[in-house]
Every structure is written in C-alpha cells, then in structure tokens.
Structure 1
C-alpha cells in the first residue's frame, strides 16, 4: 500500500457532473487554451495502479487548493479508509491508518527516484488536466492529426504537448529525459462539462524508468476515473494531523 501511495503521489498528486456530450465547438487555429480556472476542487475517483510487484485498486477522495495543498484519502476494498496524505510545496506526509504509521517525504525524493522534477505545481496540473509547462515563443508548434503539437525543452526534458484542435484542452503529454532516458506519458480523455468548466474524467499515466540499484527497466501505470467533481466549494476542509500514537514507518 505504501508503494501504491508514493507512486500515485509521483504521478498524479481530482457535485455533480454533466453527461458526456459533444461539448466542444472551437475551430480556432490559435492556441487559446481551455485551461481550468479554480480556487479549489474536490474529486472522488477510482484508481488503478500497476507495476511489476503490485496490481492495486482504490477509491480516492482528493481535494486541491490551488498552488497550496493536495489532500487525499484512499479506501481500497471494503470501505475502510486505509491511508490519508497531504502534499505541500516541499513535502509529502502519508498516514497508514491500518498499521498506525506515518511517513514524511521531501518532494525532492520523488524527483530523485524518477529523475523528473516533481513539485506541487506539476502534480496539481497532472490531476486537473491543465498545461503543465506554459507555452513560450521558443516552443515549436505544429498543427497536424487533430492536435496542436507543442514541443518544448524543460531542463533535460524533451516535452511534447498534444492540444486538441477541437477541445483546446491538453489531451496528451510525452516527456523524455535526455540524461536518464526515463519517460512519462499521460493521456486525458472522456472530457466533462462541470459547472461550465471542462475537465478530463479519465487520466492514464505511465512512467518508464530505470532502477537506481541495478539499472533494470521499470514501468509504473496509473489509471484515474473521476466520478464526482466539485469546483470552488466554500466549506472544503483541508485539516490534517498525525495521531500521537502513530509511529514512523
């Protein structure tokens, strides 16, 4: 379960929704992106995680305060909350409610593990489906195959953003490290119109990386399906504390 939580944090760290209708009409040739504007957002999601050692499923409740906090709770199986966590700008805190343990990690530890510069803004953008890295005049932009393809360099990452010409939403991301050749792939689909705002209801993410110990190739996959989405709730609670009797992992 701890491995499950950490990889979810690394990849993604989502009341009513409208029906899945044809909600796009833009035929603009300009990159007037349809990014989601919000102060906070609350999501209930089904999550599947898989790697060479694990094949796990859970229900997640996720709350995001823009540029500040990601709060999450995981319930695998029988309706009993197994874990709760919070991501801030510099740390990730996880409570294992089954074993009464907790773990505090620096966000930089995820960056070291996967050789990507993970931070709160990156994780928040992945969850929400907004463009992670802003478009600049230095980026290579092409229109083909139903997408605006925006190629850019971020540090040692070569990044390709696929922006739907109809939706004007980010629909795919491919990012590859020049140094490690580790790669991250994200697909967004099943877009919903929620409170006159557009969000993907399904996220499929994959990280290909090499083990630091023996350089063996590793693959981690996460699928997230949102079932409830609420935007800008006035009473959204982000309270979080570690019980006194819990021990460090």
Structure 2
C-alpha cells in the first residue's frame, strides 16, 4: 500500500508521413491555448494504478492551491480513508491512516526514480491538463491530422505535445529522456466544461523506466477519472498535520 500511495502522490502519465504539413508560428499566444486558469480547485476522482506487481484502485479527493500545495485523501474501498497527504514545492508527506504511520519524502525522489524532473508544477499540470512545458519561440509547430504538434527539447528530454485543433487543449504528450530512454506518455481522452472552463475528465498516463537496482524494464500505469470538480471555491481547506501518535515509516 505504501508504494502504491507514493506512486499516486507523485504521479500524484501518431500519424501518416505522406500528408502535407502546415507550419505555424511557434509563439504559444498565437495558438490561443485553452489552459485552465484558477487560484484553487477541488475534485473527486477515481484512480487506478497498475504495474507488474499491483493492480489497485482508489477514490481520491484532491485539492490544489496553484503553485503552492496539492492536498489529497485516498479511500481504496469500504469507505475507509487509508491515506492522506500533501505535496509542496519540495516535499511529499504521507499519512498511512491504517497503520498509524507517516513518511516524509523529497519531490526529487520521484525525479531520481523515473529520471524526469518531477515537481509540484508538473504534477498540477498533469492533473488539470495544462501544457506541461511552455511553448517557446524555438519550438517547431506543425498541424497534422487534427493536431497542432509541438516538438521541443527540455534538458535531455525530447517532448512532443499534441494540441487538439478543435479543443485547443493538450490531448496527448510523449516525453523521452535521451540519456536514460525512460519515457512518459499522457493521453487525455475526455473533456468537460465547468464554469466556461475546459478541462479533462479522464487522464491515462504511462511511465516506462528501468529499475535503479537491476536495470530491468518497468512500466507503471495510472488512470485518473474526475467525477466532480469545483473551481475557485472560497472555503477550501488545506490544513494538514501529523498526529503525535503516528510513527515514522
């Protein structure tokens, strides 16, 4: 359960060559992206996690204060809260409410495991479907088969963004590390409208990586389905504390 919770906390993830390509200005402002603007939001979600050893499900309540904190609560079944935690700019704190234990981790631990620069902003972007790596004047943009395809490099990452020509939202993303060959794939398959704002209701993410211990190939998959979303709710509570009776993991 602890490893499952950690994966959720951190994680609390193409077309025919013969067709003619249309080249556009690489300035993101000219694409009129439908990025979600918000100060805070809350959502209820169904989460599935799968790797070679686990196939787990949970209901999650998630609260986000932009660029500040992600608060989450996980209920695997029977209506019993199993875990609660927060992600800040530099740390992840997890309460195992079943065993009365807690764990404090660094966000950089996720980066070391998967060889991607995981941080609070990236996790926020994945959950709400905003563009993860901003478009710059150096990026190449092509229009093909209903997508604006934005190719860019970020450090040792080769990134391809697929922005829907109709939705003007990020619909697919693939990022591959040139050094480790680890890969992140994200597919937003359904979108909904809340208060004139468009955001994804289903997120499918896959991370391909090699074990640090024996270099074996590993695959982790996460599916998130948002069922209820509130944007800029005034009385949203982000309070969090570690009970005195909890022991460190």
Q: How does 1:1-249 map to 2 (within 5 A)?
A: 1-11=1-11, 13=12, 30-249=30-249
**Partner Cα distance (2:118, 2:131) in 1:** 15
TM-score of the superposed pair, with normalisation by structure 2 = 0.92
**Partner Cα distance (2:165, 2:3) in 1:** 37
Aligned residues: 233
- Structure 1 unpaired stretches of 5+: 14-28
State the Cα deviation string for residues 187-233 of structure 1 (Å, max 9, x = none): 01210000110010000000000000110000000001010000000
State the Cα deviation string for residues 92-111 of structure 1 (Å, max 9, x = none): 00000000000000011110
RMSD: 0.8
**Partner Cα distance (1:9, 1:71) in 2:** 9
**Partner Cα distance (1:39, 1:82) in 2:** 28
Deviation, structure 1 residue 5: 1.4
What is the match of residue 21 of structure 1?
none
Deviation, structure 1 residue 64: 0.2
**Partner Cα distance (1:10, 1:234) in 2:** 26
Deviation, structure 1 residue 9: 2.2
**Partner Cα distance (2:167, 2:238) in 1:** 32
**Partner Cα distance (1:190, 1:113) in 2:** 29
**Partner Cα distance (1:163, 1:10) in 2:** 24
**Partner Cα distance (2:205, 2:122) in 1:** 13
Displacement over 2 Å in runs of 4+: none
TM-score of the superposed pair, with normalisation by structure 1 = 0.92
**Partner Cα distance (2:179, 2:59) in 1:** 36
**Partner Cα distance (1:103, 1:69) in 2:** 17
State the Cα deviation string for residues 38-72 of structure 1 (Å, max 9, x = none): 00000000010000111100000000000000000
Give the secondary-structure state (helix, strand or coil) at the position aligned to 2:31. coil
**Partner Cα distance (2:68, 2:209) in 1:** 28
